[in-house]
Amino acid sequence: MTLCLGIESTAHTFGASLVDDRGKIYSNASKTFTTKKGGLIPAKLADHHLEYCDRVIEEATQGFHDFDLISYSAGPGIGNALRIGSSMALYLSKLLKKPLIGVNHCIAHLEIGSMLTKLENPILLYVSGANTQVIAYEGGRYRIFGETLDMGVGNFLDSVARELGLGFPGGPKVMRLAAKSKNLIELPYVVKGMDISLGGIFTNVKQKIELHMREDICYSIQETVFAMLLEVAERALAHCEKTELVLGGGVCCNSRLQDMAKKMCKANSYKCGIPKNDFLVDNAAMIAWTGLLMHQAGVKTEPGIRPYERTDQVEVSWRN
């Protein structure tokens, strides 16, 4: 048995987890940066991660005297946050003389989703703060078959929440308000081929804030944007001739998005895999599990961070 310590620090969450090569998750500790109003400030985020990193790692490794491997989120993400996690991972690697692997955060969402849902070759609908992508494995890499052309859906929801005075993170608050309405306000529906765009919708929403109740605005942006996401995901499934959809990313904790995904899959006789919320949001278990897969395939990475690394830049040798 190989046991891996995973460290996650791409954005608002600092996490640590122990996972073995059979997929057993022994711990999944985390601490998340929040604000009562305003958004995420990178410098304050780094201070938050630095304050809690020791405690989170100690919580994750409590009761364990040793492990075989250390993996960490190398990117993409916010540089200020990534540096804290990578520095801790490098320090522990040198101190304990353990191998170190840097993991692509986006790919980790797909790998943990596939493992937990037992789906072998799915399309991943990956919807988080900065990232919105439809991903599938083809020809030795995870290819992006559709994505946002401007802002990620999570950042879009946070931006709307900030305009509404709801604080950060805004997605859960938007979801709760949306559940109180059934009044659909007409908003731009922007699907361009296999991609979506949210900048124009955000501008349109800002113009309507003073004209409508917050509940109606939240309901309308969910119905519109989630329909856009599922349209692109459905088309990718058909194009790639796949029959399995996995959700990943913090926005996929949204119960309305989950419901729409299930209905789309049922209508097409597809399988729909939705991990528990703890493994949809940014978490260290997915970093540990992906690190194990890479280690078993003999993958080696250089220490450091890769804040702008795209999903399709990584050679996925472990699937071969």
Per-residue pLDDT tens digits for 295-312: 999 999 999 999 999 999
Q: Is the pLDDT of residue 155 over 70?
A: yes
pLDDT-derived band at 29, boundaries 50, 70, 90: very high
Q: Is the pLDDT of residue 38 over 80?
A: no
For the segment 158-179, what is each residue's pLDDT rounded down to a tens digit? 999 999 998 888 999 999 999 9
- Choose the CATH number for 3-109+281-319 among 3.40.190.170, 3.40.190.10, 3.30.420.40, 3.90.1150.10: 3.30.420.40
Compute the average pLDDT of residues 243-254: 97
pLDDT-derived band at 316, boundaries 50, 70, 90: very high
Q: Is the pLDDT of residue 42 over 70?
A: yes
The whole-number pLDDT of residue 35 equals 74
- Residue 63's SS3 state is coil
* Amino acid (1-letter code) at residue 55: R
Q: Give the Cα separation of 223 and 140 in Å (integer).
A: 35
Residue 191 near residue 169, CB atoms below 8 Å: no
Query: Do the bridges between strand 195-196 and strand 191-192 make them parallel or antiparallel, or are there none, so unpaired?
Result: antiparallel
Compute the average pLDDT of residues 264-292: 98
Q: Give the Cα separation of 103 and 314 in Å (integer).
A: 10
Q: Where do you find CATH 3.30.420.40 in the chain?
A: 3-109+281-319, 120-278
Name the CATH topology of 120-278.
Nucleotidyltransferase; domain 5 (3.30.420)
The whole-number pLDDT of residue 172 equals 94
Which class for 43: exposed (0-12), middle (13-18), buried (19 or more C-beta within 10 A)?
exposed
The HSE-up count of residue 34 (CA atoms within 13 Å, CB side) is 11
